[in-house]
């Protein structure tokens, strides 16, 4: 073992639902004979016909060749009984996400297939170690977690339990790669890579909504148009299903002995209890019924544009704002000294405008003596971002507030006001994503490369969280997380040891 499965090796897929059918299609298109089985009589044949129709549709659209569609279809057979899968060299189970059901199936398969046959589970969160426990050959059990829809999404998490033979994991890794996927290795821990490292994307958004920082549509827009995520957290939860998303969070929380970092949201639980599950129920954070209007973010009205701004110190991440102002006819003056704001600030008529550091604007203003402070949020790229969130310190004058908003608008940026919450939206979320990813590396769950690849290919993040942290600076991420901890007083916001070490050594997190 170690290389990919031979092309003539039979792949059996157990479970003919959406995920199982998708995996069967991927394996058949990669050249393998496929046996598709489902316990429900007739389901496997129905799925086979659906897959063939899908392949024909892809050929009609020119996405695959007609001959390729015909050959792939001919490779798929519906198995009438589980014993029809006896000759498979790889069996992938994609049945209901229930540990007892999966263990029962694996025990049944073990007496049917050859001792060298690999048994793979498509589980998204269950322990591979636990699924393999008690089998005669637990070393051949491995996780092969595809993402839905399997023919479209490129990531496969190859998950090793405590008993998994390394050669088995390498064979599955090589096979997934040969099938055109992007495989990553992960240890069998709660949530593996993606479902664990993505928790802050939802958790921080839910906390902000619960604190009434802004409405869901506004927070989504800030994360899309500022931070560069393909979807905002609330529209994504509505798409996934609030019940599914809540169950994953609850599963990771339970499996990690109620670590506060993964504490589920009471607000989300209430929505699930009400049956507001998202798109599939017609209502979640947003409404999807007939005639439902698309929710619009809150955008501040236009303010007077400044004739000039004064940049104090080095704006660092936000330095691209200078060019945007210049292109839009705003004069930029430089002042290299900025004692109160070591990361730089924009001095305006009335008060300073500075990038958030994880503190509330009010706390930061009290510590710097700048009563009229306005803070702005992190952006993926300040040269192109379309929207930024801002917040003002309690007691900030209307003059200073309007001047700050007008300055950002003069750079061609839509501005959304948030209540004065610690870290705003994008900065705290990205810092916590990076912190979680760093812990995954610290604990040996995956390499830094595989963590970043998984988050980009599995959930379409614009950057891997560790690469993003390197762009921001490990020290800034550390400071934001520490400031969040000081604000909330919760162990949820503890700094990963890897970030602390890299701050001291200066080495990148993503290496």
Residues pairing with 287 in the sheet: 283
According to DSSP, the residues that pair with 316 across neighbouring strands are: none
Alpha helices in 30-98 (DSSP H): 43-60, 66-74
Q: 94 is written with which tokens?
A: 């994609």
Q: What DSSP state is assigned to residue 306?
A: P
User: Residue 414 CB: number of other CB atoms within 10 A?
Assistant: 17
Residues 6+ apart with CB under 8 A from 207: 265
Per the CB < 8 A criterion, the answer to whether 205 and 211 are in contact is: no
Nearest CA to 509 out of 476, 465, 450 is that of: 465
Q: Is 89 helix (H, G, I), strand (E, B) or coil?
A: coil
- DSSP letters for 316-371: GGGTHHHHHHHHTT-EEEEE---TT-TT-EEE-SSSEEEE--SS-HHHHHHHHT-T
User: What SS3 class is residue 309?
Assistant: strand
List active site positions: 124, 145, 157, 195
Which among 388, 327, 304, 307 is positioned nearest to 353, based on CA atoms? 388
Rounded CA separation 94/112 (Å): 18
Which tokens hold the place of 261? 């970092």
Within 181-225, residue ranges assigned H as helices are 194-197, 199-210, 216-225
Residue 190 sits at φ, ψ, to 5 deg, of -50, 120
Task: Read off the tokens for 461.
Answer: 């993040």
Contact 438, 496 (CB under 8 A): yes
Strand partners, 352: 347
217 - beta bridge partners?
none
Q: How far apart are CA 319 and CA 324, in angstroms?
A: 9
Cα 33-23-10 angle, rounded to 5 deg: 20
d(CA 500, CA 482): 11
């Amino acid at each position: 073992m170690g290389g990919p499965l031979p092309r003539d090796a039979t792949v059996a897929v157990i479970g003919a639902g959406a995920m199982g059918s998708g995996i069967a299609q991927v394996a058949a298109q990669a050249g393998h004979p496929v046996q598709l089985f489902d316990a429900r009589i007739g389901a496997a044949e129905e799925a086979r016909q659906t897959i063939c129709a899908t392949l024909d549709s892809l050929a009609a659209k020119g996405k695959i060749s007609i001959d390729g569609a015909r050959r792939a279809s001919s490779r798929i057979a519906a198995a009438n009984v589980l014993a029809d899968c006896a000759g498979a060299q790889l069996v992938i189970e994609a049945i209901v996400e229930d540990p007892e059901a999966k263990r029962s199936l694996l025990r049944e398969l073990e007496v049917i297939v050859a001792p060298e046959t690999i048994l793979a589970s498509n589980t998204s969160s269950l322990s591979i170690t636990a699924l393999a426990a008690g089998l005669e050959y637990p070393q051949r059990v491995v996780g092969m977690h595809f993402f839905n829809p399997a023919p479209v999404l490129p990531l496969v998490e190859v998950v090793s339990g405590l008993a998994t033979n390394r050669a088995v994991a390498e064979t599955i890794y090589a096979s997934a790669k040969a099938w055109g996927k992007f495989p990553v290795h992960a240890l069998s821990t709660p949530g593996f890579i993606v479902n664990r490292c993505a928790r802050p994307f939802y958790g921080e958004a839910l906390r902000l909504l619960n604190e009434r920082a802004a409405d869901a549509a506004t927070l989504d827009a800030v994360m899309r148009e500022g931070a560069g995520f393909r979807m905002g957290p609330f529209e994504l939860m509505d798409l996934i299903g609030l019940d599914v998303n809540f169950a994953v969070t609850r599963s990771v929380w339970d499996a990690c002995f109620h670590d506060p970092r993964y504490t589920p949201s009471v607000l989300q639980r209430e929505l699930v209890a009400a049956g507001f599950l998202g798109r599939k129920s017609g209502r979640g954070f947003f409404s999807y019924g007939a005639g439902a209007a698309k929710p619009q973010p809150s955008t501040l009205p236009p303010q007077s544009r400044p004739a000039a701004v004064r940049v104090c110190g080095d704006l660092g991440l936000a330095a691209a704002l200078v060019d945007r102002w210049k292109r839009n006819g705003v004069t930029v003056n430089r002042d290299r000294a900025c004692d109160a704001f070591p990361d730089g600030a924009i001095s305006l008529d009335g008060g300073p405008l500075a990038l958030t550091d994880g503190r509330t604007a009010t706390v930061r203003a009290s510590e710097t003596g700048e009563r009229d402070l306005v803070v702005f949020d992190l952006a993926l790229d300040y040269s192109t971002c379309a929207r930024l969130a801002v917040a003002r310190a309690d007691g900030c004058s209307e003059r200073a507030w309007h001047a700050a908003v007008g300055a950002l608008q003069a750079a061609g940026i839509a501005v959304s006001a948030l209540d004065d919450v610690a870290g705003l939206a994008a900065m705290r979320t990205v810092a916590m994503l990076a912190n979680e990813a760093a812990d995954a590396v610290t604990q040996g769950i995956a390499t830094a490369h595989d963590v970043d690849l998984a988050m980009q290919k599995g959930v379409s993040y614009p950057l891997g969280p560790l690469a993003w942290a390197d762009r921001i600076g490990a020290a800034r991420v550390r400071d934001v997380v520490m400031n969040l901890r000081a604000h909330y007083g919760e162990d949820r916001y503890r700094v990963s040891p890897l970030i602390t070490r890299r701050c001291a050594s200066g080495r990148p997190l993503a290496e």
